[in-house]
Structure 1
Amino acid sequence: MATSDTTATKLPLKEIPGSYGLPFFGPMSDRHDYFYHQGRDKFFADRIQKYKATVIRTNMPPGPFISSNPKVIALLDGVSFQILFDNSKVDKRDVLDGTFMPSTSFTGGYRVCAFQDTTEPSHALLKTFYLNLLASKHASFIPLFRNNLSEHFADLEDQLAGRSSKADFNTSVGSASFNFLFRLLTGQDPSATKIGSDGPTLVTTWLAAQLAPLATLGLPRIFNYAEDFLIRTIPLPAWTVKSSYKKLCEGFASAGSSVLDEAERLGIKRDEACHNLVFMLGFNAQGGLVNQFPILMKWVGLGGESLHRQLAEEIRSVVKEENGVSLRALDRMTLTKSVVYEVMRIEPAVPFQYGKAREDLVVESHDATYVIKKGEMIFGYQPFATKDPKIFERAEEFVAHRFVGPDGEKLLNHVLWSNGRETEEPTPDNKQCPAKNLVVLLCRLYLVEFFLRYDTFTFDFKPVVLGPQVTIKSLVKSSY
């Protein structure tokens, strides 16, 4: 029997507590608690309290209709969670979205790399292609993103100068992110293709149809049961977003012909490479960044003017000393780096991880060990893992300096947003995000460009399905 740690443990072996309830009624009850009665965090917190354990049995949405088996073993602490990164023990086949998988009709009939397990030969081939592609674009990251951010900041200022005197941050940064990613991967502007200026809308439409069973619309309580029936009984068919996806594919195929040529040289079918790259661009990259930047600005905004002043002072002094914005300059900004890691710790943009046990194994929490049987679905709720009070002091607080210095850097092993530890690197043989380092770089660079231009800002936010909806109320320009 495999274990979650190679070292001997003296922790007691316990049965996994929890209940799946009666067929149909148990999953339905858990689903309504999760979406409507308790909400995500309280759903798990109440069960931890009830069972006095952080490894429990429960049902996860969307079952019981769309999902054939909603039963999971939930890992709700920072120790047990990390077994999900051990690909020798956990199978990641078709579990990207959890206990259900959208039809491959959404991706041209292909099971794209994100849905493949590391034991599948095409996984290593496709991920090698991704990693090589990103490496080849390394010199473009900073200048290209800075150029797109100039357009973004001009847009925010124009909105603030308009009648409403406020700016929709999410929409603006979403457009900047899509344009950056498309230009990075293809070398061309999306406006020169069939995509035009509609890229973010096309991606959102395509993603919404796939992920609808995991979402709520925020409707008044009286509509909860109607909403639940409509979006979690029968999956939305791919034909409903066929035109949106077709535009994305045709736009990428025309602009990214040289990238697809390279895929063919590696032995990947051109059509398969195109669908995989559109998925990486739309689902992994654009879908992730559209959440990540609002989360970043939410927490930096909540840090207040004192944090803004500290960031501005560090950023401006280093840029002056280094004669510009460079990788070396970014690496010297210790507070800026720490703030980005702290944002990713306190509110990871992708809160869930799933996998199936390859064999009978033993998983450890802080207090006990538990046997998970071969084939059982394992679910990790990342916000509880990265806010584990036995690992992080003041775990529920945003601590800007948390990762500064040698002791702070040791904690990076428990920053898990990328489907792996922050201290590890993506490879063809693991499931860690291939753009992990790029995402961290872009978040740092966003703060650098922001605080070179502005001293502070005011904002509002409200929680929505995929991260906060941020509205900028004011930007105080810098005289720097």
Structure 2
Amino acid sequence: MSSSSSKIMIQAVAAGAAQESSLPLPVKEIPGSYGIPFLSSIRDRLDFYYFQGQDNFFKSRIEQYGSTVFRVNMPPGPFMAHDPRVIAVLDAKSFDVLFDVSRVEKRNFLCGTYMPSTSLTGGYRVCAYLDPSEPNHAKVKQLLFTLLASRKSYVIPSFRSLYSSLFETMESQLTASPGAKSDFNKLNDVTAFDFLGDAFFSVTPSSTNLGTNGPSKANKWLFFQLCPLITLGLPKILEELFLHTFPLPPFLAKSDYKALYAYFSSAAAPVLDTAEKLGLSREESCHNLLFATIFNSYGGFKVLFPVILKWLALADPNLHSQLAKEIRSVVQAEGGKVTLAAIEKMELTKSVVYEALRMDPPVKFQYGKAKHDLLIESHEAAYKVSKGEMIFGYQPFATKDTRVFENGNEFVGDRFVGEQGKKLLKHVLWSNGHETESPTVENKQCAGKDFVVLVGRLLLVEFFLRYDTFTAEVGTVLLGAQVTVTSLTKATSFI
């Protein structure tokens, strides 16, 4: 398709959308049923995990009801969650309701219709589980903003140093023997954990009493909170009993959490001083810093970085060449330095990160409970929701909505390049808000939104300064992608 034809199509879609929004939408009953209490929710759980899988679970019901808004039971259900009933919103327009904290409550909803035991977070409900109407939400989020602002000059040098070492290790693994491979996920776990400690607190975890055990302790703690959402490939009866029906006993992760907490209470001491000035106790602040650093940041990078490499491995190698050219030419123009100003000039690089976040958002599920009776609007209709009903959004469907994104199910590296591309950024939703909006103490958007996008771009910068292209085997692992690098082609030129 020619450039002029594409522009005409975009204009036509925009005109159609404007016309559509000016027309009153019919108010319809929400289709779907919760079925027989207990039994139907278990059947839906089995469909979700085993018989259909996540995407087909939702696709089949969209086709059945002829609607992207419907009632359904969401896992894990009994006995993990006392009420599995939700109203699913699965298009870009209806999904918006989940960001409006004047309409939905976010109290105790992060992972799903269940909330992990506070024994896993020192007895505290950390910021992620607080509604903005609760006083401590603003205090903790302000603490995170203060931390991020105070450490911004440390991010780039810390990342480059640690990820340079990662790539050197990867090279040595690939050259160790004919046909050798390198597990990026495994290397990334170790490096991301050290990077966050160094970038945020100037204390690399591996240099403390944690040693090299930090990532394994963090992964175990994460598993205890997220296991109701995953499958391990074990016999169904075992997974149903031990992962999806009853919570794992928190005491089994107590020693791991204690070791992690000891690191944060020491390394983050200056930040905890700031917390006291904001009216927070050191103990509660430390648990919040641990959660934000490990669950939100480390957990996010465990998913995001392999996802970026996954889509690059599956993309046309021409995209690799284009990224290498853009990154090297900008860095050369900056005198060989990688600066924030230089990174901001890398439009294609930023677009690739946004596209990876659109295709595979690190957090796929969003929840909110209606604060009052309200209307939800999809593209075709409006639906009445009663106060107290749970609303659920499956983000990959909202961010691949073909009413918003042409070829929405395809990875298009330069999708967000140019003026038309920038207009689409408001539909990138990974941060619990629109990419064109900013996190505040009054909303639930990720405090580290800009930090995440920056380090995603840094991964590409560091990679393509070193290599022209690569190949990798791509698979799946728990909640993300598994990337096993099979070859690296070193950079042949700086430009």
TM-score (norm 2): 0.94
Partner SS for 2:78: coil
Query: 2:13 maps to what in 1?
Result: none
| 1:103 CA drift (Å) | 0.6
Query: 1:426 maps to what in 2?
Result: 439
Q: Identify the match of residue 298 of structure 2 among 279, 283, 286.
A: 286
Partner SS for 2:108: coil
Partner SS for 1:198: helix
| 1:257 CA drift (Å) | 1.3
Query: 1:464 maps to what in 2?
Result: 477
Q: CA offsets per residue over residues 387-424 of structure 1, 9 Å max, x none?
A: 00111001111111111111110000000000000000
Q: Identify the match of residue 332 of structure 1 among 339, 345, 357.
A: 345
Q: Are residues 1:250 and 2:265 paired?
A: no
Q: Are residues 1:217 and 2:232 paired?
A: yes
Q: Identify the match of residue 411 of structure 1 among 412, 424, 432.
A: 424
Query: 1:447 maps to what in 2?
Result: 460
Give the whole-Å Cα distance in 2 for the aligned partners of 1:325 and 1:473: 27
Query: 1:186 maps to what in 2?
Result: 201
Q: Identify the match of residue 165 of structure 1 among 163, 168, 180.
A: 180
Counterpart residue type for residue 169 of structure 1: F
Counterpart residue type for residue 199 of structure 1: G
Give the whole-Å Cα distance in 2 for the aligned partners of 1:238 and 1:184: 30
Q: Are residues 1:137 and 2:151 paired?
A: yes
Give the whole-Å Cα distance in 2 for the aligned partners of 1:226 and 1:199: 28
| 1:148 CA drift (Å) | 1.1
| 1:264 CA drift (Å) | 1.2
Query: 2:15 maps to what in 1?
Result: none
Q: 1:257 to 1:435 in 2, by over 3 A?
A: same
| 1:445 CA drift (Å) | 0.9
Counterparts of residues 358-397 of structure 1 (less than 5 Å): 358-397=371-410
| 1:158 CA drift (Å) | 2.1
Give the whole-Å Cα distance in 2 for the aligned partners of 1:233 and 1:391: 38
Q: CA offsets per residue over residues 358-389 of structure 1, 9 Å max, x none?
A: 00000100000001110101000000000001
Q: Are residues 1:349 and 2:362 paired?
A: yes
Q: CA offsets per residue over residues 229-252 of structure 1, 9 Å max, x none?
A: 221221111101111101100011
Identity %: 54
Give the whole-Å Cα distance in 2 for the aligned partners of 1:119 and 1:190: 35
Counterpart residue type for residue 472 of structure 2: F
Query: 2:50 maps to what in 1?
Result: 36
Q: 1:362 to 1:9 in 2, by over 3 A?
A: farther
Structure 1 residues without counterparts, runs of 5 or longer: 1-6
Q: 1:277 to 1:437 in 2, by over 3 A?
A: same
Query: 1:14 maps to what in 2?
Result: 28
| 1:266 CA drift (Å) | 1.5
Q: CA offsets per residue over residues 114-147 of structure 1, 9 Å max, x none?
A: 0000000000000000001100111111111111
Q: CA offsets per residue over residues 314-341 of structure 1, 9 Å max, x none?
A: 1111111122211111111111111111
Contact 1:294 1:468 in 2 (8 A): yes
Contact 1:84 1:354 in 2 (8 A): yes
- Of stretches 389-398 and 157-166 in structure 1, the one that deviates more from structure 2 is 157-166
Give the whole-Å Cα distance in 2 for the aligned partners of 1:343 and 1:175: 22
Counterpart residue type for residue 254 of structure 1: S
Give the whole-Å Cα distance in 2 for the aligned partners of 1:304 and 1:101: 42
| 1:225 CA drift (Å) | 2.5
Give the whole-Å Cα distance in 1 for the aligned partners of 2:74 and 2:316: 37
- Of stretches 261-270 and 83-92 in structure 1, the one that deviates more from structure 2 is 261-270
Give the whole-Å Cα distance in 2 for the aligned partners of 1:117 and 1:65: 25
Query: 1:3 maps to what in 2?
Result: none
Give the whole-Å Cα distance in 2 for the aligned partners of 1:457 and 1:102: 40
Partner SS for 1:371: strand
Counterpart residue type for residue 252 of structure 1: F
| 1:151 CA drift (Å) | 1.4
Contact 1:193 1:255 in 2 (8 A): no
Runs of 4+ that moved beyond 3 A: none
Give the whole-Å Cα distance in 1 for the aligned partners of 2:460 and 2:414: 15
Contact 1:193 1:254 in 2 (8 A): no
Query: 2:88 maps to what in 1?
Result: 74
- Of stretches 236-245 and 252-261 in structure 1, the one that deviates more from structure 2 is 252-261
Contact 1:188 1:255 in 2 (8 A): yes
RMSD (Å) for aligned C-alpha atoms: 1.1
Aligned length: 471
Q: Identify the match of residue 203 of structure 1 among 210, 218, 226.
A: 218
Query: 1:315 maps to what in 2?
Result: 327
Query: 1:4 maps to what in 2?
Result: none
| 1:8 CA drift (Å) | 7.4
Query: 2:282 maps to what in 1?
Result: 270
Q: Are residues 1:153 and 2:161 paired?
A: no
Contact 1:90 1:358 in 2 (8 A): yes
Partner SS for 2:212: coil
Contact 1:345 1:417 in 2 (8 A): yes
Give the whole-Å Cα distance in 2 for the aligned partners of 1:167 and 1:261: 42
Structure 2 residues without counterparts, runs of 5 or longer: 1-20
Contact 2:242 2:248 in 1 (8 A): no
Partner SS for 2:412: coil
Partner SS for 2:139: helix
TM-score (norm 1): 0.96
Query: 1:298 maps to what in 2?
Result: 310
| 1:9 CA drift (Å) | 5.5
Q: Are residues 1:114 and 2:128 paired?
A: yes
Query: 1:478 maps to what in 2?
Result: 491
Query: 1:91 maps to what in 2?
Result: 105
Give the whole-Å Cα distance in 2 for the aligned partners of 1:257 and 1:346: 38
| 1:194 CA drift (Å) | 2.1
| 1:209 CA drift (Å) | 1.1
- Of stretches 286-295 and 462-471 in structure 1, the one that deviates more from structure 2 is 462-471
| 1:46 CA drift (Å) | 0.3
Give the whole-Å Cα distance in 2 for the aligned partners of 1:315 and 1:282: 30
